């Protein structure tokens, strides 16, 4: 889906939710004040706090979806993450203030309010309205595969749940249980604080590159291992960036595959992961010809130019060495194994071919870090 069209749909559903949050928040606060319901006032503040989330979604959808650039090679998705941390902290601060006031009322009976029918009606309307916007937002979120919208939808549903708590509290107060309204307020405060903490903690974990949950990582690992050409894998690392997940993995392939085949397998792994897992947006695949966590390291070995000079010196007295068509190097288990290709015309019969092969191998024994030698004639 085109980025502009995606942003337009996110903007539309979020603006509808924002208008509803504004109307409900103001109505709850007014009705709570007139109807003597502290819990409904607290719930109204909760609804107005949803405007912050709506603003976050609009800001993040516009700026977080911008393409990667030179200064931000991984994109801008963490704009959403940082804004979410700030929002979570603000919600916790609001919850602490409301909670303090509710506790004060519980310990001072003269401060307890007597909510009436108006508060009950507004709380009921809030339940139905917030559940409706939740359902609508979830439809769009699933269509766009947007985790951000899913989170915002659940924020709306949390408001509906808090209104249910208020409804019960107001109903109890109307039957003479005046303390239920203050207790309901504490319930709403808990929901606001928990929501703020969950938003902040999840985003903080993302900012420090916390991995996906272990079950998801195991599923990804199993999927990669089942791809044809992958012998094994290790160093599977995952992290989140906004709604997306990024994956880095080392895959082990046949030790003597061509470079192009190894690269092709890595591209298959990358493309299939992105296609199979909706949240995965990018995969970095490193190709290993062996398990470099177990085998001896090869980083201290010489590169081709230096190593070929050693071979040239060792073969300087072997005339057929000048006819070598190609030398393929295999860096495996701390050694350099070589495949030598000579023209078929270099030998007269099978016996002569074997003699040439043995001569090259014998002369190479003085070369350090040399492993197996294979000689072929074509």
Q: Per-residue confidence at 108, pLDDT binned at 50, 70, 90? A: low
With a cut of 90, say whether residue 25 has pLDDT above it.
no
| Same domain (yes/no): 273, 229 | yes
| Same domain (yes/no): 200, 222 | no
Tell which of 254, 288, 322 closes a domain: 288
Q: How many domains does the chain have?
A: 3
Q: Is there a domain that residue 256 lies in?
A: yes
**Each residue of 272-283: b (16+ CB within 10 Å) or e?**
ebeeebeebbbb
Identify the domain containing residue 221 by its residue range.
Answer: 214-288
* Closest to 190 measured CA to CA, from 258, 99, 320: 99
Beta bridge partners of 284: 248
271 with 237: CB under 8 angstroms? no
| Same domain (yes/no): 161, 83 | yes
Mean pLDDT along residues 56-84: 72
CA-based angle 199:209:73, to the nearest 5? 105
Q: Is there a domain that residue 198 lies in?
A: yes
pLDDT of residue 223: 96
Radius of gyration of the chain (CA): 34
Instruction: Look at the block and give the residue holding tokens 């080392």.
Output: 250
Listed range (78-92, 105-119, 364-378) with the worst mean pLDDT: 105-119
With a cut of 80, say whether residue 314 has pLDDT above it.
yes
pLDDT of residue 175: 72
Q: Per-residue confidence at 64, pLDDT binned at 50, 70, 90? A: low
Mean pLDDT along residues 371-376: 93
Mean pLDDT along residues 338-352: 90
| Same domain (yes/no): 49, 150 | yes
| Same domain (yes/no): 259, 199 | no
* Closest to 329 measured CA to CA, from 359, 367, 355: 367
Q: Any idea what the CATH number is for the domain that residue 255 is in? A: 3.30.70.1350
pLDDT of residue 287: 94
Q: Per-residue confidence at 367, pLDDT binned at 50, 70, 90? A: very high
Q: Is there a domain that residue 202 lies in?
A: yes
Q: Is there a domain that residue 68 lies in?
A: yes
Listed range (80-94, 113-127, 235-249, 311-325) with the worst mean pLDDT: 113-127
With a cut of 80, say whether residue 149 has pLDDT above it.
no
Q: β-strand 370-377 against 280-288: which pairing, if any?
A: unpaired
Using one digit for the tens of pLDDT, what is the confidence trace for 261-290? 999 999 999 999 999 998 898 999 999 998
Q: Any idea what the CATH number is for the domain that residue 133 is in? A: 1.20.1510.10
**Each residue of 144-163: b (16+ CB within 10 Å) or e?**
bebbbbbbbbbbbbbbbbbb
pLDDT of residue 244: 80
pLDDT of residue 12: 85
Most confident range, picked from 51-65, 70-84, 119-133: 119-133
Mean per-residue pLDDT over the chain, rounded: 82
Task: Determine whether 359 is exposed, middle or buried from the number of CB atoms within 10 Å of its CB (0-12, 13-18, 19+).
Answer: middle
Q: Is the pTM of this model over 0.85?
A: no
| Same domain (yes/no): 58, 141 | yes
H or E stretch at 233: strand 232-241
With a cut of 70, say whether residue 218 has pLDDT above it.
yes
pLDDT of residue 112: 45
- How far, in Å, CA of 243 to CA of 245, rounded? 7
| Same domain (yes/no): 257, 318 | no
Q: β-strand 335-342 against 370-377: which pairing, if any?
A: parallel
Contacts of 18 (CB under 8 A, 6+ apart): 50, 51, 54, 55
Q: What are phi and psi of 370, to 5 degrees?
A: -85, 135
Tell which of 255, 288, 321 closes a domain: 288
Beta bridge partners of 341: 326, 376
- How far, in Å, CA of 44 to CA of 162, rounded? 10
Answer with the residue of higher pLDDT: 378 or 166. Answer: 378
With a cut of 50, say whether residue 362 has pLDDT above it.
yes
| Same domain (yes/no): 113, 16 | yes
Assigned token pair, 365: 């024994």
pLDDT of residue 88: 76
Q: Is there a domain that residue 299 lies in?
A: no
Query: Cα 285 to the chain's mean position, in Å?
Result: 16
CA-based angle 44:108:38, to the nearest 5? 10
* Closest to 217 measured CA to CA, from 262, 183, 247: 247
44 with 28: CB under 8 angstroms? yes
Answer with the residue of higher pLDDT: 303 or 70. Answer: 303
Q: Is there a domain that residue 294 lies in?
A: no
Q: Is there a domain that residue 134 lies in?
A: yes
| Same domain (yes/no): 25, 48 | yes
Q: Is there a domain that residue 330 lies in?
A: yes
Beta bridge partners of 241: 244
| Same domain (yes/no): 55, 130 | yes
| Same domain (yes/no): 74, 160 | yes
Mean pLDDT along residues 185-213: 82
Mean pLDDT along residues 135-161: 77
| Same domain (yes/no): 46, 68 | yes
Is the torsion defined by CA of 266, 271, 277, 281 positive or negative?
positive
* Closest to 97 measured CA to CA, from 168, 42, 173, 175: 42
Tell which of 207, 237, 255 closes a domain: 207
Is the torsion defined by CA of 186, 187, 192, 193 positive or negative?
positive
């Amino acid at each position: 889906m085109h980025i502009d069209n995606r942003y337009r749909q996110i903007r539309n559903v979020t603006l509808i939710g924002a208008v509803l949050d504004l109307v409900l928040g103001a109505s709850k606060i007014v009705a709570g004040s007139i109807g003597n319901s502290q819990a409904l006032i607290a719930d109204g503040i909760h609804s107005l706090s949803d405007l912050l989330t709506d603003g976050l979604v609009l800001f993040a959808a516009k700026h977080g979806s911008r393409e990667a650039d030179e200064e931000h090679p991984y994109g801008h998705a963490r704009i959403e993450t940082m804004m979410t941390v700030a929002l979570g902290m603000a919600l916790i601060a609001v919850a602490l203030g409301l909670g303090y006031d509710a506790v004060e009322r519980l310990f001072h009976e003269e401060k307890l309010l007597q909510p009436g029918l108006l508060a009950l009606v507004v709380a009921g309307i809030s339940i139905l309205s917030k559940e409706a916007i939740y359902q609508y937002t979830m439809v769009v979120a699933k269509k766009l595969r947007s985790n951000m919208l899913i989170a915002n939808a659940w924020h709306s549903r949390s408001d509906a749940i808090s209104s249910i708590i208020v409804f019960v509290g107001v109903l109890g107060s109307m039957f003479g249980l005046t303390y239920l309204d203050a207790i309901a307020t504490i319930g709403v405060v808990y929901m606001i604080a928990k929501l703020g903490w969950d938003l902040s903690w999840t985003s903080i974990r993302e900012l420090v590159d916390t991995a996906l949950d272990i079950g998801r990582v195991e599923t990804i690992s199993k999927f990669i291992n089942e791809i044809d050409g992958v012998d094994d894998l290790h160093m599977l690392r995952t992290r989140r960036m906004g709604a997306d997940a990024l994956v880095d993995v080392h895959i082990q392939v046949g030790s003597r595959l061509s470079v192009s085949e190894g690269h092709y397998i890595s591209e298959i792994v990358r493309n299939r992961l992105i296609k199979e897992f909706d949240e995965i947006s990018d995969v970095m695949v490193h190709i290993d010809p062996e398990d470099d966590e177990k085998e001896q390291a090869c980083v201290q070995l010489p590169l081709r130019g230096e190593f070929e000079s050693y071979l040239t010196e060792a073969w300087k007295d072997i005339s057929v060495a000048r006819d070598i068509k190609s030398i393929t190097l295999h860096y495996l288990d701390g050694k350099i194994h070589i495949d030598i290709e000579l023209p078929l015309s270099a030998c007269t019969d099978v016996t002569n071919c074997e003699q040439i092969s043995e001569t090259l191998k014998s002369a190479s024994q003085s070369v350090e870090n040399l492993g197996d030698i294979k000689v072929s004639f074509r």
